[in-house]
Structure 1
Amino acid sequence: MKLLVVCLGNICRSPMGEGALRARIERSPLAGRIEVDSAGTAGWHHGKPPDPRAVACARRHGVDISGLRARQLQPADFLHFDHILCADPDNLDDALALAPPEARARAALLLPWAGITAASVVPDPYYGDDTDFEHSWTLLEAAAEAAVQRLSARPDSGIIGP
């Protein structure tokens, strides 16, 4: 299975989400069975590392995202990835605008897709401070944990057999 986490610039939320998912997956029975990547709906930061505040936040939680590089979401991503998981409704709308019609169902909001019901949006911490990055991390970590539980428990997930 292949998961793509998407935000606006691919320097804050989506690389933190990628890092949180990878870390959770590596510590689970799903290790080696799921590919995780991230992208942004805008290409402003293409080729750049994550925001230093995102790197520091992830590092405080034992996850290294410093080697990731921003890239822009492409229509071909909808054919490569099983799920395109967006941080907020604006990112979802922008992603859907790129999606081939037959692959539109692959796009969803990350938190509800993972089973998080208390929130549906991962807020953009870019214009905030460390507290905002920590809040986004908390949501992304909860989504990663819920996603691993969901994919491990569902026989139809394509990951774990009946």
Structure 2
Amino acid sequence: MIHVLFVCLGNICRSPMAEAVMRDLVEKERLAHKIAVDSAATSSWHIGEPPHKGTQEKLKEYGIAIKGMQGRQLHKTDFEKFDYIIGMDESNIRNIRAMLGSPDSPKIFRFLDLTIHRKDVPDPYYTGDFQETYDLVLEGCYALLEKIKGEQKL
């Protein structure tokens, strides 16, 4: 089983959106038995909380399920469990590396570095633009799925 972890600051907007979108794509490609997806936060602010209302509404608009999702904080053990640890922005990457004690691991990378955008995913908690975040997350998830299929020979 291949394990994918999306990480953002609070685990209520961007990373749960990416988790839900990626799960949806993985299920549609009939790879759910080979790829497991989760999300986490670098902060402890929203542990146990459901995704942000804006994230819920945007995912519902596209028919993507969020049932059972709740915020959790990144743990040192995640480095051993996950094959891909994807930060939504450069600040997340720095925090992930510091929290996991793995500054140079290739399994840790910035999400949109897989796309032509090569930038941070804007945080809709602050921008209010959940559509922009969704569009970038969808593009990034397609790129990540292709990367995984190529690297893991799926």
TM-score range, shorter chain: over 0.9
- Deviation track 1:97-133 (CA, whole Å, cap 9, x = no partner) reads 0123487332110121xx202242110000233xx11
SS of the equivalent of 2:73 reads coil
**Which residue, out of 140, 146, 150, partners 2:147?**
150
Match of 2:32 in 1: 31
SS of the equivalent of 2:92 reads helix
On the 8 A contact 2:97/2:103 being kept in 1, the answer is: no
Gaps of 5+ in 2: none
Distance (Å, rounded) in 2 between the aligned partners of 1:38 and 1:4 = 5
Instruction: Determine if the alignment matches structure 1 residue 59 to structure 2 residue 51.
Output: no
- Deviation track 1:53-90 (CA, whole Å, cap 9, x = no partner) reads 11001111111224200000111101100111000000
Letter in 1 for 2:46: H
Distance verdict in 2 for CA 1:55–1:67, change over 3 Å: same
Gaps of 5+ in 1: none
Distance (Å, rounded) in 1 between the aligned partners of 2:67 and 2:126 = 20
TM-score when normalising by structure 1: 0.88
Distance verdict in 2 for CA 1:119–1:101, change over 3 Å: closer
SS of the equivalent of 1:127 reads helix
Distance (Å, rounded) in 1 between the aligned partners of 2:103 and 2:122 = 29
Distance (Å, rounded) in 2 between the aligned partners of 1:159 and 1:21 = 18
Match of 2:119 in 1: 120
Q: How does 1:1-162 map to 2 (within 5 A)?
A: 1-101=2-102, 104-112=105-113, 115-129=114-128, 132-152=129-149, 154=150, 157-160=151-154
On the 8 A contact 2:40/2:74 being kept in 1, the answer is: yes
Distance (Å, rounded) in 1 between the aligned partners of 2:28 and 2:124 = 27
On the 8 A contact 1:78/1:99 being kept in 2, the answer is: yes
